[in-house]
């Protein structure tokens, strides 16, 4: 695995790039200790069909992550390894429904509860960490079923924002039989369970994250024609102002064809975006800080209380030590 970080020294007359090389790893002198070190990533488990949606559970110190194609939530814990946490995690019917019938994005909310995007059942659910029982939080907007909720983030005020692309429908974008909402929307769910579509003009919304102060919403587009991370100012009432392009993968990596999937924000406001064969790191202004190359298509990532960044990379679960990144 290769880690490339870009450091910029700000001066009165401009910007200067500064890098150093160590053990075949390109790292900047000033960002090296702040973001990442030279240790290679560990492969903790493999054999998955499409690992996704990792989340760290502080009460118990373990990681949960989805494989929507295997319809399973897996658990990984130091010293115990990999076990099945819940199967089926999503759709439980006897007949085939979709290539991705399981859960996708996972979240531990402010109360320590597990919240999941249930692809196959087209809803947001709460899953009891002990009994594994599910309770539906929302499954409709204006009386119509969601497409297939994909990823979710919680605002400091308690509300949720989630993306609803068609990837979990039987025929995905071409599905006209099951689809009830035309837009691939982004929704806000308040504490009382009311639902509002806050974005309805994106082709393929995917990963989603909220800034530490709760003043900005980030949405990653898995759109080859518009490989952007969009940013939206969050108003006091939870609605959004018009969005703007925060990061353009085509502009930053013109020789590659990549876009972001899952995204996470650290307490300093830096974004970690799973994109292509790795994780791209940028600061709160959209400036490229670096890139962790995993060597395999990487779908999502999560911070652990143990100082590691956990990465779900196609058929693998990987991690890399981030000793000086504040934990989420």
Architecture of domain 50-264: 6 Propeller (2.120)
- What does the pLDDT read at residue 213? 96
- Dihedral of CA atoms 75, 160, 35, 290 in degrees, nearest 10, equals 100
Task: Name residues whose C-beta falls within 8 Å of residue 231's C-beta, 6 or more positions apart in sequence.
Answer: 216, 217, 218, 243, 244, 245, 246, 286
Task: Tell me which of 6-15, 44-53, 207-216, 295-304 is least confident.
Answer: 6-15
Check: CB of residue 161 under 8 Å from CB of residue 152.
Answer: yes
Domain-by-domain residue ranges, the chain?
Answer: 50-264
- What does the pLDDT read at residue 38? 55
Q: How far apart are CA 129 and CA 10, in angstroms?
A: 47
Q: What is the mean pLDDT of residues 162-170?
A: 92
Task: Give Dmax over CA atoms of the chain in angstroms.
Answer: 66
* Res 178 pLDDT > 90: no
> Which of 218, 215, 286, 292 lies closest to 249, judged by CA?
286
Bridge partner list, 65: 74
- What does the pLDDT read at residue 110? 96
Q: pLDDT grade, residue 26 (50/70/90)?
A: very low
pLDDT, tens digit, for every residue of 225-275? 899 999 999 999 999 999 999 999 999 999 999 999 999 999 999 999 999
* Res 3 pLDDT > 90: no
């Amino acid at each position: 695995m290769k880690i490339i970080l870009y450091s910029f020294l700000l001066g009165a007359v401009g910007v200067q790039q500064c890098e150093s090389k160590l053990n075949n790893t390109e790292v900047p002198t000033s960002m090296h200790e702040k973001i990442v070190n030279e240790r290679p990533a560990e492969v903790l488990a493999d054999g998955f069909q499409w690992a996704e949606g990792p989340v760290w559970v502080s009460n118990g110190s373990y990681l949960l992550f989805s494989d929507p194609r295997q319809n399973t939530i897996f658990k990984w814990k130091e010293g115990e390894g990999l076990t099945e946490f819940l199967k089926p995690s999503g759709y439980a019917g006897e007949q085939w429904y979709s290539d991705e019938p399981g859960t996708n994005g996972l979240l531990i909310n402010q109360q320590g509860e597990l919240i999941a995007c249930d692809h196959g059942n087209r809803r947001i659910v709460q899953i009891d960490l002990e009994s594994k029982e599910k309770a539906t939080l929302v499954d409709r907007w204006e009386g119509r079923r969601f497409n297939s909720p994909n990823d979710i983030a919680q605002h400091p005020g308690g509300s949720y924002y989630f993306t609803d692309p068609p990837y979990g429908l039987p025929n995905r974008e071409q599905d006209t039989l099951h689809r009830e909402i035309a837009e691939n929307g982004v929704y806000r769910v308040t504490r009382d369970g009311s639902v509002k579509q806050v974005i309805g003009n994106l082709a393929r919304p995917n990963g989603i994250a909220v800034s530490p102060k709760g003043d900005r919403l980030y949405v990653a587009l898995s759109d080859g024609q518009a490989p952007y991370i969009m940013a939206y100012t969050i108003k006091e009432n939870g609605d959004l102002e018009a969005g703007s392009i925060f990061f353009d993968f085509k502009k930053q990596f013109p020789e590659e064809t990549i876009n972001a999937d899952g995204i996470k924000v650290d307490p300093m406001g830096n974004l970690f975006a799973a994109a292509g064969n790795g994780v791209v790191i940028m600061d709160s202004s959209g400036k490229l800080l670096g890139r962790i190359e995993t060597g395999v298509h990487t779908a999502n990532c999560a911070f652990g209380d143990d100082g590691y960044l956990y990465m779900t990379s196609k058929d693998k679960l990987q991690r890399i030590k981030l000793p000086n990144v504040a934990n989420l």
